[in-house]
Amino acid sequence: MRQPFRRELSNLIERGRDRQLRLAVTGLSQAGKTAFLTSLVNQLRHAGVEAQLDLLPAAREGRLLGAQRLNQPDLGVPRFPYDPGMAALRDTPPRWPEPTRGISELRLQLRYRPAQQGWLSPDIAHLTLDLFDYPGEWLLDLPLLQHDFYSWCQAQPLHSGDQRRALFSEWLAEADTLDPTAEADEAQLASLSEAYAEGLRRAKQAGFSNLQPGRFLLPGELDGAPVLQFFPLPQLDMSKEALEALPSNSLYATLAARFRYYQQQVVRPFYRDHFRRFDRQIVLVDVLGALNAGPERFEDLSQALSQLMHSFDYGQRSLLTRLFAPKIDKLAIAATKADHVTPDQHGHVVQLLEALLAEPLKDLRFANVPVKALSLAAIRATEAREVMHNGKRSPALRGTTLDGEDVLVYPGDVPPRLPTHDFWQQQGFDFPSFRPMGAGSDALTHIRMDAAIDWLIGDKLV
């Protein structure tokens, strides 16, 4: 194809696609996805008026006129509960939006004035943003698609870490003695599956992240269905070939068949319908929460995220992939809830996030995908203050705890690298959970939502 013609065609396609962007908001349970989406809609809806979006040039220059919600493409999927979320935030006292129990979708149309006015360019242009929300627990299942039953069993951290092992102790005591060649006993499978699910629930409660299968934690319409009656086998002393040659009524073959069914009938459709076609991505990580929770859970989060990032297609878009196989060509990684630490610590939070995601970041660099790391608070719950301590000014945070107590705290220093043994020994980091700051009818107050929005969609608003 001749060069000028090719460029022209590419521009045309780019302009066509530009009007629509699918943004993946990725994060494990409680990472802050719903808060991010609620704030995103709120900021963009207030963009033309009182939202504080100075780091987003289109808003700063007064070209971003606002956003409205459109009917989403898939009428079978519930709408993202923006209004209930805002109602909770505007309540007295303000409350956080509810944890997510199922999938919901959202289509936003942004109106803006293009930066450069030519005789062919329109006065007003539109960008449609497709977003969706889901329970973080279900996201944990995406890495399961890369496995067969044998490799899945081996990939589960069943014996690693004292705290984790203790949470699964009842299940492990029986599962460790199972003979994969024995005939499957339905009653035993049902009770062991329930014990495994109970272990996962306890581990989630204790702050662990790397928990599969995710539907065991939040079954939705699958509650009680036999497809959820399986678990990994902790002791596999035989070769894969020998195990796979076992008769279909053996324990191994029965569990493997249920695993396959779960993978193909539950996880694959979820992936196919919602996770395949994205243009941009923001990965939200509750780094500070993990720091608060201790070394074992911190390491567990790092592993869960590394596995997860293999589930997405990254790479520069070519003419063909733009049309037929969209890839994520730009992403942001964000440490959420940055208002849990004083502003002087924000730089360290970003460095720590980069250290936590070191492995996936290497792969992304190799694929030449631009990545920006930042810390943000989608919905602020604290204000930065200064206090006099021993005659010196020190930074502090003022907020209201979930129990309604007004407090002034210094949560501690954030290490700029993966925490050392000494850091964990000193237990140097602690903070309470805060109530969100009330919003009234104004835009929600945030930290660096504008920087995140600019990185993710700013280039489409020129």
Ligand X SMILES: Nc1nc2c(ncn2[C@@H]2O[C@H](COP(=O)(O)OP(=O)(O)OP(=O)(O)O)[C@@H](O)[C@H]2O)c(=O)[nH]1
Residue 99 CB, nearest approach to Mg ion (Å) = 6
34 lies in the site for Mg ion, by CB under 5 A: yes
379 lies in the site for ligand X, by CB under 6 A: yes
CB atoms within 10 A of CB 120: 5
Please say which residue, 96 or 216, places its beta carbon nearer to ligand X.
96
- Determine which residue in the list 377, 409, 437, 444 makes contact with ligand X, applying CB under 6 A: 377
- Residue 126 has phi, psi (to 5 degrees) of -125, 150
- Label residue 161 exposed, middle or buried (CB < 10 Å: 0-12, 13-18, 19+): middle
Nearest in space to 32 (alpha carbons), one of 269, 316, 338, 303: 338
Site for Mg ion in 120-139 (CB under 5 A): none
The whole-angstrom separation of Cα 217 and Cα 198 is 9
- Determine which residue in the list 46, 322, 327, 340 makes contact with ligand X, applying CB under 6 A: 340
DSSP strands (E only) in 202-262: none
Task: List the end-to-end C-alpha distance of the chain, in Å, as a whole number.
Answer: 29
Q: Which stretch binds ligand X (CB under 6 A): 168-176, 310-318, 333-341, 343-351?
A: 333-341
- Determine which residue in the list 21, 24, 33, 89 makes contact with ligand X, applying CB under 6 A: 33
Please say which residue, 251 or 304, places its beta carbon nearer to ligand X.
304
Q: Which amino acid is at 134?
A: Y
Site for ligand X in 419-448 (CB under 6 A): 433-434
- Sheet with 280-285: strands ordered across: 64-70, 104-112, 125-133, 20-27, 280-285, 330-335, 371-375
99 lies in the site for ligand X, by CB under 6 A: yes
The residue whose two tokens read 């790092």 is 302
100 lies in the site for ligand X, by CB under 6 A: yes
- Determine which residue in the list 24, 31, 243, 293 makes contact with ligand X, applying CB under 6 A: 31
81 lies in the site for ligand X, by CB under 6 A: no
Token pair, residue 88, equals 């909770």
- Determine which residue in the list 301, 334, 378, 456 makes contact with ligand X, applying CB under 6 A: 378
Q: Tell me how many degrees the CA angle 383-389-394 measures, rounded to the nearest 5.
A: 40
100 lies in the site for Mg ion, by CB under 5 A: yes
Token pair, residue 265, equals 């009938």
- Determine which residue in the list 209, 263, 281, 336 makes contact with ligand X, applying CB under 6 A: 336
Residue 33 CB, nearest approach to Mg ion (Å) = 5
27 lies in the site for ligand X, by CB under 6 A: yes
Q: Tell me how many degrees the CA angle 109-113-119 measures, rounded to the nearest 5.
A: 125
Please say which residue, 102 or 226, places its beta carbon nearer to Mg ion.
102
Residue 159 CB, nearest approach to ligand X (Å) = 28
Q: β-strands 371-375, 382-389: how paired? A: unpaired
Contacts to Mg ion by CB under 5 A: 33-34, 100
Which residues of this protein are in contact with ligand X, per CB under 6 A?
27, 29-35, 96-97, 99-100, 135-136, 336-337, 339-340, 377-379, 381, 433-434
